[in-house]
Amino acid sequence: MSRRRRRDPRETRPPDDVFAEMLLAARELLAVRSPLDAELMVSDMLGAWWGRRLRGGDVEQILGEGLVDYAAKAGTPAALTLLVSVAYLGTARQAAKAEGAALALMESDVARPRWADRVGAVKPTGCYVSRDVYGDQDTVVCTFAYNGEDRHALVVVVDYNMGGMARDAWVSSQVDKLLEQARLEAAGNALLRFEELEPQQARALLEFAMKATRAAAHGRTARKLVSDSYSAYHAFARARIKALPPGRMRPAPAHTEAPYSRDRRAMLAAEFLASDAAENLSDPSAASRCADHIIDYGCDQDFGRPMRVSPTKCETFLLDWLPRKVLLSPSEQDAMPHVLSAWVRFAGPRIGLPDEGVRATLDAVWEATARFTEAYRDPTTFGLDRSLVERLLPDGDLSALARRAFAFPLLQGMRGSTSLDLLNPADEADRRILLEIDHADELGRTDLEEHLAWHEEIASRLWVGDPPQLWEAAQRLIDLGHDRHDVLHVLIEIAERIGDHPDELAAALDDIADIPDEPPT
């Protein structure tokens, strides 16, 4: 198999042709009449690379700051208007560079439109939120104006079933119509609330939401999770949020509960199992374990809210989280939909969910039940021995199965007088034995101890999934058809070269596209 040379990050160069095209488009800024239109146009430009990754560097630095440098050198009126807008809309580094470059061009008497002095000169005029009674989603509306003129609204949708991330954003100039429509929708829907929001609360909520979306972007998934328009309004939203008065940062949503200790979780499970809602559950043991999973999901994935129930949350739990994260026994697989329905009947009234909401949530659970049997694929159905799976997943983390099996592929049979079935890959001493057996044909190496130590380091990291980029890089190389040991050796070479620098290690692993011509041994 031919092997393509890995590209050196230093070979990455700012695409001047792209910058030239963007600067040409920036000429339209000279014709607009309001700072709002200009800000929206530039936000759209800056959104062209939002959420994308560049091999060898940060996209906001290479493209964002590269655009600023290119415009500064161009020195045209269009370049100046672009710099003025980026000074308000860009990241902190982009804004600082753009402001300095803009001031230099102004001192050189480069012409700029009248609206340039009003960019970002807005004040908030009101904040509102539309909330469903389930607690699934907030639609936050913040209104602004330039000295009482050009009133407009920033609308951001925050989804708590997606980690509290902002998944949609847009801007409307029809503020009164927008607010009136929201009030009418809430008045005609018992499951919807519309209310004013303190500007400080709005800022804290939106900063949390955009941070959650940014974290998802680093995981290469944000563009799939957000709306098509989010990237275009991202820079505008970020800047407008800073125009709101700062408030005490609090976790989102505002009604997050206090952390649940293990004892508190156990007491809640016991209360549920003793309730009337759970009296018809036929397998108490399986029901108890299922209740633990439901409570853990609410505490760990839903901002400490195990009692919150909704159609969307229950579907996400059954069809997405459980199939990816939890190893269920056959009895637990059978019991889970029934236990979840009982939990809805138990928790819904206690959190004040209207009867209509409880019924809708129960309907969603039963509609998802048939799909759950298809979505949840027990590893043993693929021919894996349950005892083997349990050795690889002592913590029940189903998402770890593939990477742990990759780290420790020899777990069954005999090697000489050693029974692999008796070795525990979660035990440090047994790990060493497994790795020595995996290198039985390399016992003559003079550097064997050091080499095994590095294999043990990588195996330990794969076991816990830290950093996640390690397994992602391994999968990319496996998909290209590379041998397992070659892949491990590349991971070792990178870990050894980078050392104890987590961010640099994650970036280097992200940059792996293929194995070099001569993989290290």
DSSP for 486-518, written as a single string: HHHHHHHHHHHHH-S-HHHHHHHHHT--S--SS
* Residue-wise pLDDT tens digits, 302-322: 999 999 999 999 999 999 999
Report the b/e string of 275-304 with b at 16+ CB within 10 A: eebbeebeeeebbbbbbebbbbbbbebbbb
- Residue 482: what are its φ and ψ, rounded to 5°? -80, 150
Q: Are 22 and 45 in contact (CB under 8 A)?
A: yes
> What is the per-residue pLDDT for 8?
37
Report CA torsion sign: 219, 225, 231, 236.
negative
Instruction: State the pLDDT confidence band at 9, using cuts at 50, 70 and 90.
Output: very low
Confidence of residue 519 (pLDDT cuts 50, 70, 90): very low
| Average predicted confidence (pLDDT) for the chain | 91
- Output the pLDDT for position 448: 92
pLDDT of residue 4: 34
Whole-model pTM: value is 0.83
Question: Which strands sit side by side in the sheet containing 123-132, from one edge to the other?
Answer: 165-172, 149-159, 137-146, 123-132, 192-196
DSSP H helices in 276-321? 284-301, 311-316
Q: Per-residue confidence at 274, pLDDT binned at 50, 70, 90?
A: very high
Residue 161: count of CB within 10 angstroms of its CB: 20
**Residue 381 pLDDT > 50, yes or no?**
yes
Residue-wise pLDDT for 142-190, tens only, equals 999 999 999 999 999 999 999 999 999 999 999 999 999 999 999 999 9
Which single residue is written with the structure tokens 């330990």?
460
What's the pLDDT tens digit per position in 449-461?
999 999 999 999 9
* Average pLDDT rounded to a whole number, residues 119-138: 96
Termini Cα distance of the chain: 18
Helix, strand, coil percent values for the chain (each to nearest 5) = 60, 10, 30
pLDDT of 208 over the 80 cut? yes
d(CA 10, CA 160): 40
Q: Per the omega criterion (within 30 degrees of 0), is the bond before 9 cis?
A: no
Helices (H) and strands (E) in the chain, counts: 23, 7
- What is the distance of C-alpha 201 from the center of its chain? 23
Asked if residue 130 lies in contact with residue 181, where contact means CB atoms within 8 angstroms, the answer is no
Q: What is the rounded CA–CA span in Å between residue 298 and residue 294?
A: 6
Token pair listed for 293: 């999973």
Could you give the CA distance from residue 26 to residue 18 in angstroms, rounded to a whole number? 12
The tokens describing 476, both together, are 């990319």
Is residue 11 predicted with pLDDT exceeding 70? Answer: no
pLDDT band, residue 5 (cuts 50/70/90): very low
Provide DSSP, 344-375: HHHHHHHTT--HHHHHHHHHHHHHHHHHHHHH
Maximum pairwise Cα distance, the chain: 85
Query: What's the pLDDT score for residue 42?
Result: 97
CA dist 511 and 472 (Å) reads: 11
Instruction: Name the band, by pLDDT with cuts 50, 70 and 90, for residue 219.
Output: very low
pLDDT for residue 3 is more than 60: no
Map tokens 């700051």 to a residue.
65
Contacts with 209 (C-beta within 8 Å, 6 or more apart), sequence order: 156, 158, 164, 165, 166, 252
389-446: per-residue pLDDT in tens? 999 999 999 999 999 999 999 999 999 899 999 999 999 999 999 999 999 988 888 9
pLDDT digits (tens, 9 = 90+) for 36-92: 999 999 999 999 998 887 766 788 988 999 999 999 999 999 999 999 999 999 999
Query: Is the pLDDT confidence value at 341 over 70?
Result: yes
Distance CA 422, CA 408 (A): 14
pLDDT at 515 over 80: no
Taking 80 as the threshold, does the pLDDT of residue 232 lie above it?
Answer: yes
Evaluate whether 207 touches 249 at the Cβ level (below 8 Å): yes
Going by C-beta distance under 8 Å and a sequence separation of 6 or more, which residues neighbour residue 252?
Answer: 158, 160, 164, 204, 205, 208, 209, 212, 303
What pLDDT is recorded for position 250? 55
Distance CA 213, CA 223 (A): 9
397 DSSP β-pair partners: 326
Give domain limits for the chain.
15-118, 122-243, 262-377, 396-511
Question: How many Å separate Cα 188 from the centre of its chain?
Answer: 34
- The DSSP line for 50-108 is TT--BTTB-HIIIIIIHHHHHHHHH--HHHHHHHHHHHHHS-HHHHHHHHHHHHHHHHT
pLDDT classification of 501: cutoffs 50, 70, 90: confident
The predicted pLDDT at position 216 comes to 80
Torsion sign, CA atoms 88, 89, 95, 97: negative
- pLDDT at position 223, please? 66
* Percent share of the chain, pLDDT over 90: 79
Distances, alpha carbon 190 to alpha carbons 131, 355, 357, in Å: 11, 11, 9
pLDDT at 253: 61
Beta-bridge partners for 129: 140, 195
